[in-house]
Structure 1
Amino acid sequence: MFLTRWTEYAVTPKQHPPLLSHVKLYALTSQVINGEMQFYARAKHFYRDVPATEEGMMGDYIELSNTDVESSREFLRKFVGGVGKAGTNRALDCGSGIGRISKHVLLPVFKSVELVDMMENFLAEVPNYLQGKEDRVEMYYCKSLQEFTPAPQRYDVIWIQWVSGYLTDKDLLEFLIRCQNGLKDNGVIILKDNVAREGCTLDCLDSSVIRDLNILHSLIEMSGLTILREERQEGFPEQCVPVWMLAMQKGPGHS
């Protein structure tokens, strides 16, 4: 999912419809044709035309990449290194694209990373994009997140940025549960995404949804995760949809 701007309703290079009811949204995200869920098929079709470049990953808002990266680094530092915090051995980059977050946020901190993305051409570009750091990539997973299961107790940090909106509520909930099982002791999940001011909006062009904080909180609570901290991204233009960062950890009693 790209950074998004609001006008009368949300616009990026694409246009979002006004607020949709839950019933209508469910119907639009659960349509199946010839055994294939169209919500996911449309997203994959959209990304076939997205270039495997940093500009492509930012949805043509490349001028905001540095601001995004600096805020992400600062947020991450609150949860890694030191007693009672996440380790710095291995991180998982979910919806990684060509590895923008791995290169600028994760690899400066972690010994190694693993990347998962549904687009094979994005992953194929990672070694070129990382410019000498590609040997610190342990694994590439060419899978959609609704089909991906992190290995148990493998990751110190799981980073999920601008991709949660490509999952239905049900699949996002189940993915968060699987991610929880993939965390090491003191491990942290960080979710960073566009957040609606109220309710949920659907972008039919790239087949993604933007949820408000209440909906995200509800899904996180149902997953059994505990929110450690949440912060709004600063430094983006006012016309942009708000972007929030949420850090989560295994809930009480979860081993």
Structure 2
Amino acid sequence: MTSNTHPSINCEQIYERAEEYWAHQSQDIDGMLGGFAHLHSPDIQVSKKFLSNLKQKNMLMNFGYALDCGAGIGRVTKNLLLPLFEKVDMVDVVPELINKSDEYIGEEPRIGDKFVEGLQTFSPQEGRYDLIWVQWVSGYLTDEDFIDFFKRCASAVRSGGVIVLKDNLTSGNKAEFDSEDNSWTRPEEMLLDLLNKAGLRLVSRSLQTGFPKGMYRVKMFALKPQEESGNNENEEE
């Protein structure tokens, strides 16, 4: 598989420009969803159903501690994770967004650590989390950094826990680079290949429904470390 680094700029420039892009977005749900605030309700609703199904299948055994990657102002933390988990950590590269989460989420003692760091260098604590949720942020990682980040996630998820990747997918067989926000949208086959290289196995996946036609397909992938016993995914929800 070839590298997906854009030919005209280096990796550090890509990360810097992506951070700059998000630092200038409005600090509300509309800004977090790129001007598509109407996607918020169906997004959260389908994500809740996905987690409920994982629980019913005993793929998600405990609801103690979750990590929201690319958390922004805390849209997913507040509406998806806090209603289900005893404690939630947040990580985002843009300090202005993490700071805004205090106002958006409100007084909430169940918020744990707030990390201001890019996922290309962020290393979650080993064995800490029952769920690591990675939504609409993996496209900001080069292939190499994607693999390394998910390797670190594999070490950070507890036995009985799960990593969920939720992201846009291209319909073709190549990654598409967006020069506006400096991100890649990858095809499903490429995502699964990168995750396999990170030492993760697919245990469940599901298509996001309720979004308007003409948009990228969005899927959720539930993943566990390959060394953890259990069956691989064989049916799509």
TM-score normalised over the length of structure 2: 0.91
Distance in 2, matches of 1:196 and 1:83, equals: 31
Structure 2 partner of 1:177: 151
Structure 1 partner of 2:95: 120
**Could you tell me which of 40, 59, 63 is aligned with 1:88?**
63
Over 3 Å counting, the alpha-carbon distance change for 1:108 and 1:152 in structure 2 is same
After superposition, what is the alpha-carbon deviation per residue over 1:29-51, rounded to whole angstroms, capped at 9, x for unaligned? Answer: 8x33xxx7111111012112111
Query: Partner of 2:193: helix, strand, or coil?
Result: helix
After superposition, what is the alpha-carbon deviation per residue over 1:212-245, rounded to whole angstroms, capped at 9, x for unaligned? Answer: 0010010111111110111111111111111111
Query: Partner of 2:80: helix, strand, or coil?
Result: helix
Matched ranges for 1:22-41 at <5 A: 22=2, 25-28=4-7, 31-32=9-10, 37-41=12-16
Query: Partner of 1:160: helix, strand, or coil?
Result: strand
> What are the ranges of 5 or more consecutive residues in structure 1 without an aligned counterpart?
1-20
Is 2:159–2:228's contact at 8 Å kept on the other side of the alignment? no
Distance in 2, matches of 1:181 and 1:165, equals: 21
Structure 1 partner of 2:18: 43
**Aligned partner of 1:43: which letter?**
A
> What are the ranges of 5 or more consecutive residues in structure 2 without an aligned counterpart?
230-237
Over 3 Å counting, the alpha-carbon distance change for 1:237 and 1:180 in structure 2 is same
Query: Partner of 1:153: helix, strand, or coil?
Result: coil
For this pair of structures, how many residues does the alignment match?
Answer: 228
Query: Partner of 1:158: helix, strand, or coil?
Result: strand
**Could you tell me which of 178, 200, 205 is aligned with 1:203?**
178
Structure 2 partner of 1:136: 110
Is 2:6–2:177's contact at 8 Å kept on the other side of the alignment? no
After superposition, what is the alpha-carbon deviation per residue over 1:115-160, rounded to whole angstroms, capped at 9, x for unaligned? Answer: 000010111111211133x211110000000010000000000000
Distance in 1, matches of 2:162 and 2:50, equals: 12
Matched ranges for 1:4-15 at <5 A: none
Structure 1 partner of 2:131: 157
TM-aligned CA deviation for residue 94 of structure 1: 0.1
Over 3 Å counting, the alpha-carbon distance change for 1:27 and 1:63 in structure 2 is closer
| Greater relative contact order, per chain length (Cα 8 Å cut-off, separation 6+) | 1
Is 1:81–1:88's contact at 8 Å kept on the other side of the alignment? no
Query: Partner of 1:78: helix, strand, or coil?
Result: helix
Distance in 2, matches of 1:67 and 1:76, equals: 14
Distance in 1, matches of 2:57 and 2:175, equals: 38
Distance in 2, matches of 1:131 and 1:26, equals: 39
Distance in 2, matches of 1:135 and 1:203, equals: 38
Over 3 Å counting, the alpha-carbon distance change for 1:81 and 1:61 in structure 2 is same
TM-aligned CA deviation for residue 84 of structure 1: 6.0
Are 2:71 and 1:110 equivalent residues in the alignment? no
Is 1:28–1:39's contact at 8 Å kept on the other side of the alignment? no
Let me know the Cα RMSD of the aligned residues.
Answer: 1.9
Over 3 Å counting, the alpha-carbon distance change for 1:84 and 1:73 in structure 2 is closer
Distance in 2, matches of 1:232 and 1:226, equals: 18
**Aligned partner of 1:181: which letter?**
S
Are 2:31 and 1:59 equivalent residues in the alignment? no
Identity across the alignment (%) = 33
Distance in 1, matches of 2:169 and 2:57, equals: 31
Structure 2 partner of 1:190: 164
Is 1:81–1:87's contact at 8 Å kept on the other side of the alignment? no
TM-score normalised over the length of structure 1: 0.85
Is 2:23–2:97's contact at 8 Å kept on the other side of the alignment? no
